Amino acid sequence: MTPPRTLRVDRIACTGRGLCSELLPELIDLDEWGYPILKDRTVPDRLRAHTRRAVAACPRLALHVDDGLGRRAQRARGLTVRVSGRPRGRATTGMGGRR
């Protein structure tokens, strides 16, 4: 059995172009300003390919699909885990490396 995949929208990154709704009308509606409203966050198996296409086509990279695995399970399967945060190393201001 495959873990459930969930769809999510980064509302800050989204600019309301509506392409996701055109590619995935089964799961996404648009509000009156053109921003996506998820009908259902869980992605059925029959819509996986359409969901991947909609995520890849988002011009602002605001549409994401999570595979339902936790970080520990992703590491065990050899998948990369991206953790947001400040990059490691020496921080510079762009002025010759001085702070």
State the CATH number of the domain containing residue 28.
Answer: 3.30.70.20
Read off the tokens for 83: 């953790």
Say how many domains are in the chain.
1
pLDDT tens readout for residues 5-48: 999 999 999 999 999 999 999 999 999 999 999 999 999 999 99
- Phi, then psi, of 51 in degrees rounded to 5: -65, -45
Whether 66 is in a domain gets the answer yes
**Which pLDDT score is estimated for 4?**
87
Whether 45 is in a domain gets the answer yes
Give the residue carrying structure tokens 């995520």. 55
**Which pLDDT score is estimated for 29?**
97
**Which pLDDT score is estimated for 89?**
45
